Chains A and B, each alone.
Chain A
Amino acid sequence: MPDKKIRVLIAKPGLDGHDRGAKVIARALRDAGMEVIYTGLRQTPEMIATAAIQEDVDVIGLSILSGAHNTICPQLMKLLHDKGMTEVIVLLGGIIPEADVAELKKAGIAEIFLPGTSTQDIVDFIHKRVPQTS
């Protein structure tokens, strides 16, 4: 049976419009053979959770540079939990102070990729965590 492609939702929550990172990651994951859906800008946690269900994704990649991660991430994790999306892997990239990392992981973020991460590291992480399709 042919492998099913890994499905990833790249989302840009909050009011910030700096989408360079989100777009580069979307393109890199697509080049690595994944099916990537990019939400576009200024998505609320509610919109992201709904899109994740509709698109039936394996992975959600959030890009946050504005410092709003401590507000947005717990809200999204709760919504995903309430909607029964407990299997989805949520990744976070952007400007995240190291002091916030432990708390975000406790809230359910699988991994946090800080500035300077190579796109290959992110591809490898996803392949490791979504093993049925690698």
Chain B
Amino acid sequence: MSSLLHRPALLPVVLFAGFAAVPLVATALEQPFWIAFFARILIYAMAASALNLALGYGGLVSFGHALFMGLGSYAVALPALHGIANGWVHLALCVGGSALVALAVGAISLRTSGMAFIMITLAFAQMGYFLFVSLKQYGGDDGLPVASTSQFGGFDLGSTLTLYVTALVALALVTWWMAKLRASPFGMALRGARQNARRINAIGLQARRLQLVAFVISGAICGLSGLLLANLNAFVSPSSLTWTVSGELIVMVVLGGIGTVLGPVIGALVFLGLEEWLKALTQHWMIIFGPLIVLMALVGRRGIVGLLDRWPRAPAGPASAAAPVATPPAASAATPGTATKGGL
């Protein structure tokens, strides 16, 4: 029994099992609103995971990831307006478009670092916002209803349940990949570049190129979350490209645990859950939320996953299961033979 609770894969299993149960529970309680609500959480969890690749693994403080979510959304609405409902076309435009824009933005922004990088990514997202606002024929400031949601053969992403299942599967795959990526050669090199770019160059890798590739992958996955969002809302608007959205994604990543695998998912869950709860209390919920974020910044950035790691370990506690998933897998690397090799 205790060995079961010690299994390192417990937290993600519990988390995703919980997500999977939502449609069943919601239908049983006759509260279908929750399916849409949790679908939104899944979508933002995916966007936050994408940002985590650039921000957490790569150390790139991008304040412009809303740009990619927005592009992904418009990649559905614009073709739909012109009569193209084929989901594969939407998907290709979404991923291709986001990746290309991420390549351009990343290539220019990575010529700077630190503060300048933050400001430039913010500026590029703002540029995207103004672009879509000024395109009056595509709704401009008022936004654009999605004429027809993405059709994949028999599947219509416009159906909330179909969307939910798709989002859940997509998030599970992305999370799995992020876990693998973290320990993969590319992931380790990227994380090395965050810790010490000079040394990465000195051992023969180009830190900037690693960061650019990470930024492009991050942008593409973030765009994908935008595609799902457009199908969920059946509506797109430039307001999804504002700096507030970019900021909220950063908060989700840091709140959950920056640089960890499950941090973005937990962060999105807690952020949106808290927002929903506060909204019910008062329409001026941001007056409470704002200072909470300031507090989070002042107190330090281990995030929720970090807190779980430090939880006093009872013999069969779930926290010990959380640790290996969340923290660098240092211990798991050891094999019996190496430790005894003779030294000087």
- Same complex origin of A and B: no
- The chain A residues found within 8 Å of chain B, CB to CB, are none
Residues of B within 8 A of A (CB): none
